[in-house]
Amino acid sequence: MEKRYFDFRDIFQVIGYGFSGRKIAVHLIGLIIAYLIYEILVYLSLFVVGGTAAQEFWDTYALLPVPPFSNAEFAQLTEIAMWIGVGSFACIFFFASTVASKITIEQLRGDFFFSVGDAVTFLKGHWKSVLGAFIGLCLIQIFLVLIPLGIAGFGKLPVVGKPFLMIASLFMPIGFFLGMLIALIGVVCCVSLLFVPAVVATTGADTFETIYQQFAIVWNKSWLTVCYETMLFLIKLIFVPIWAFFCLAGFSIVMLPISFLHTGQMEHIMACANLWLGGAIEKLAMLPYVNSLGVFNIGIAMKETSAFTTTVAAVFLTITLLMGIGLVIAYLFSIASAGNTIVYTILRKKIDGHNLLVLLRAEPVE
């Protein structure tokens, strides 16, 4: 087992623990599943809407995932499908993060052969704690927000409204503390996005214990958490672009001979892939140094059906590019999962002196 300091020095170990094939693969699989669910839901809603909705969406965005909060105007059914897709992505992300965090904590405890299968088995017994913590915090926040909203709404009633508001004003000092509590829980909700998977993975905690740990982090070590997360952000800012560069370089090196010897055909294939990705390749090629070798040169973007071999090549090129983007995002998520796990072990040691690295592994719940 490596030496631990339980301070900022441990955070630099995320460079090694984040660059893990197992954790990147876990997040990549999660991204693929979430992407497929999102696209299927969106296009199903477009076909239900009928008319030219599906064709217009394909001509504009094709296979690009469009967030529901974008400026584009969609049918209400499509927006609902998009929000369901976003919710599915969030669930899958936190489940994948729990699996990656479980692998990380077992590695920190000295078990470098802890498998993805074992982590998934752990998730099957504790996924309710992950979702329950988020749902519980949201319900608490909603309940507290409904109090001032209810008072304001009751004050709109004729005759009794104004006297009620006058009486309610006597409790303004209590309302002040209620507002502070709502703000605190808002911060806790934000922190939970970082640490719920780590808490469940490291301790096997139930929903209530997981929620309590979020409050303990915010209440006891809020500024330390900000400092550690800032360090983690800087690590992401440095190493994710490096990983993206190597992914881009690997793709460019492989495609360079084909692009050089079959320039016209390659440009046409790239044009087809660019259409299917909603013009993303064209935008990517405009970035500095991205298209230095010319592998992203795009020919005439023809929408009509191409030759069978060209179409097949364009399909696999599109899949490859999507996988490359997914690998970069998966590495970002891997650093986040491993980093937040390490940060939580440090914070827990400083809060109550509990060393999570020597915690006996609990048996998975069937």
How far is Cα 300 from Cα 128, in angstroms, rounded to an integer?
51
Please check whether residue 259 is in contact with residue 297, taking contact to mean a CB–CB distance below 8 angstroms.
Answer: yes
Please check whether residue 49 is in contact with residue 77, taking contact to mean a CB–CB distance below 8 angstroms.
Answer: yes
Amino acid symbol at 330: A
Please check whether residue 294 is in contact with residue 259, taking contact to mean a CB–CB distance below 8 angstroms.
Answer: yes
Residue 329: predicted pLDDT: 96
Residue 306: predicted pLDDT: 54
Q: Tell me the three state secondary structure of residue 75.
A: coil
Please give the torsion angle defined by the CA atoms of residues 54, 60, 65 and 71, in that order, rounded to the nearest 10 degrees.
-100
How far is Cα 248 from Cα 272, in angstroms, rounded to an integer?
19
pLDDT (tens digit per residue) in 258-312 = 888 888 888 888 888 888 888 888 888 888 888 887 888 886 655 444 567 778 8
How far is Cα 151 from Cα 4, in angstroms, rounded to an integer?
52
Residue 180: predicted pLDDT: 93
Element (H, E) at 250: helix 207-261
DSSP string covering 55-72 = HHHHHHTTTSPPPTTSSS
Amino acid symbol at 293: L
Q: Which two tokens stand for residue 37?
A: 């669910």
Residue 217: predicted pLDDT: 96
Q: Which two tokens stand for residue 143?
A: 């309940």
How far is Cα 281 from Cα 274, in angstroms, rounded to an integer?
5
Please check whether residue 267 is in contact with residue 298, taking contact to mean a CB–CB distance below 8 angstroms.
Answer: yes
DSSP-assigned letter for residue 101: H
DSSP-assigned letter for residue 362: P
Q: Quote the Cα angle for 59-60-64, to 5°.
A: 105
DSSP string covering 10-31 = GGGGHHHHHS-HHHHHHHHHHH
Low-confidence ranges of the chain (pLDDT < 50): 303-305, 360-366
Residue 359: predicted pLDDT: 57
φ/ψ of 318, rounded to 5, equals: -60, -45
pTM for the whole thing?
Answer: 0.90
How far is Cα 46 from Cα 18, in angstroms, rounded to an integer?
39
